[in-house]
Amino acid sequence: MIPYVLVIVALATLFYLRFVKPLNYWNDRGVPNVKGIPVFGKQAAVIFRQISLLEWLKRAYKECPGTRYHGSHQFNRPILVIKDPDLIKQLLVKQFSNFVNRIDIINKDMDPFLGNSLLFLHNEDWKTMRSTLSPAFTGSKMKEMSNLMIQISHKFFEYLRKNGKSKFAVDMKDLSTRFTNDIIASCAYGIECNSLKEKENEIYSLGKNMTNLTYSRIMKFFGFSNVPKLMKLLNITVFPRSTNKKFGRIIKESLAARESSNIFRPDMIQLLMMAKKGNLEYQENVKDDDTGFATVDEHYTKESKNLTDDDIVSQALLFFFAGFEPVSTTISFMALELALNPDIQDKLIKEIDEAGAIDYSKLSSLKYLDMVVSETLRKWPPVPVVNRRCTVPFVLKAERPEEKDLHVTKENGIIVPTIAMHYDEKYYPNAHKFDPERFSEENKEKINPYTYLPFGSGPRNCIGSRFALMEIKMFFAVALKFFTIEAIEKTVSKIEMNPKNFLLTPKGGFCVGFALRTN
């Protein structure tokens, strides 16, 4: 019996040290906090799908009211929830060198391609890759790419017009993923797709597979967060190896074809090939580059690295991963909001009609379209939380009587519950109302930029914000020339989040009606 007792005691001690003791971390340091539970920290309600991610982030934001920050746990990892705009600016911008890295979600052990992409690289690897890729995402490069996007958009909606009825129901999530798939396939990889006609084309099927956040995949994330060595020992990866293999083959075939035939095409693969050869130089944004209020500034340095073909595959995979799901989600929410707010849609259609034929300059000049997109990103940011991990320990100085100096260590992470800030009545009165006028020329100057973070902030913000905004605006600038978007019987009357889906998804889905315009 003694050996069994010793084993039980050893396991209990290990469990306590690994999952129970960390919950006292913030109490031991005198930081306000609300304790989580062993193993799951504060995420249990989301993992077991009792509440939506949106509601969980709102709860996290409201805990310990009146504080600039409070303690929490991501599983068993201690994190600080940052709620004060000035503190957000301090940590994400002024003290960026202390928070260069994101909290690990995917690494090379979990996925060899995506783990080597810009999103998940660390320290100097990230800095040199970011600097290498930055020239590919300036307004100048977006302008060069815009004609491709215009052609694909017109082709997409012309096909929908010819093959649809005068009125028909639309699952916006399905439609928008097909649109983003065709845009990315063409503008990033030089591969022509018609995802309305060829429903299960190879690129689209890969995208659906990669972005399908199933419960088993969430459990894999949970495993890598809590027992990474065991997951590595079991040789478990987040995405099927066959998916990575297929995607790598597609990109490398495209690279080989261009090299052998000396093909030039103004798309993302071409820019990556130029970066590989050291021919991609940073250009200041074009004078008419006004991609919108939500665009984030690029923090460019002159460091760069020599890209390999595998590096190109990793970055190409990231562009697809980031552009397929988040952009399609934003488009879906905006379509739903327009269906529920026909007066806003009418005003938007008038602006688009008056602009005439759409090109890059015209798209940038559509001020009301930018207001509607900005408000959509406020209510429904595709990435609802910003996270960073401390890389260089420092002391967070006390600024209030109830605070004391806090030693932030390498084991600490921070999260900014972006979407909860976007619903804070202090910053956005009547926050649940869809009101583009918040972003009018008169009102947008009143918005504290560190209370509006749909693309993050600081040097590690979203590198593709210009591309994403151009894609979203292009969808509606072309779609609303062909159709109006209407609420139908299946359209939800009130947008409430579905806790059964880990991504931001409304109960009842994204069903709207499309009606062919006759004028």
Strands 77-82, 413-416: pairing is parallel
Q: In DSSP terms, which residues pair with 387 in a beta bridge?
A: 415
pLDDT digits (tens, 9 = 90+) for 148-163: 899 999 999 999 998 8
In three state form, how does the secondary structure of 390-428 look? Answer: CCCCEEECCCCCCCCCEEECCCCEEEECHHHHHCCCCCC
Calculate the alpha carbon distances from 509 to 109, 325, 328, 491, 493 in Å. 35, 15, 13, 8, 11
Rounded CA-CA distance 55/40 in Å is 17
- At 281, is the pLDDT very low, low, confident or very high (cuts 50, 70, 90)? low
Residue bearing the bigger pLDDT, 362 or 255: 362
Q: What is the mean pLDDT of residues 451-473?
A: 92
Contact between 369 and 361 under an 8 Å Cβ cutoff? The reply is no
Residue 52 above 50 pLDDT?
yes
Contact between 238 and 110 under an 8 Å Cβ cutoff? The reply is yes
Give me 337's structure tokens: 């909001």
Contact between 341 and 265 under an 8 Å Cβ cutoff? The reply is no
Q: How many residues does the chain have?
A: 519
* Per-residue pLDDT at 283: 58
Q: Where do the domains of the chain lie, and which CATH numbers do they carry?
A: 2-516 (1.10.630.10)
Residue 70 above 90 pLDDT?
yes
Calculate the alpha carbon distances from 414 to 50, 288, 321, 421 in Å. 24, 37, 24, 15
DSSP string, 14-74: HHIIIIIGGGGHHHHTT--B---BTTTBT-HHHHTTSS-HHHHHHHHHHSSTT-SEEEEEE
Give me 282's structure tokens: 């940073």
* Per-residue pLDDT at 209: 76
* Per-residue pLDDT at 305: 65
Q: What is the mean pLDDT of residues 274-289?
A: 64
* Per-residue pLDDT at 288: 47
Q: What is the mean pLDDT of residues 42-56?
A: 83
* Per-residue pLDDT at 187: 81
pLDDT digits (tens, 9 = 90+) for 314-334: 888 888 878 888 999 999 999
Rounded CA-CA distance 462/460 in Å is 7
pLDDT digits (tens, 9 = 90+) for 419-434: 999 999 999 999 999 9
Helices (H), 164-240: 172-187, 202-211, 215-226, 228-233
* Per-residue pLDDT at 282: 59
Query: For all residues of the chain together, what is the average pLDDT?
Result: 87
Per mean pLDDT, which range of 120-129, 178-187, 275-284, 452-461 is the poorest?
275-284
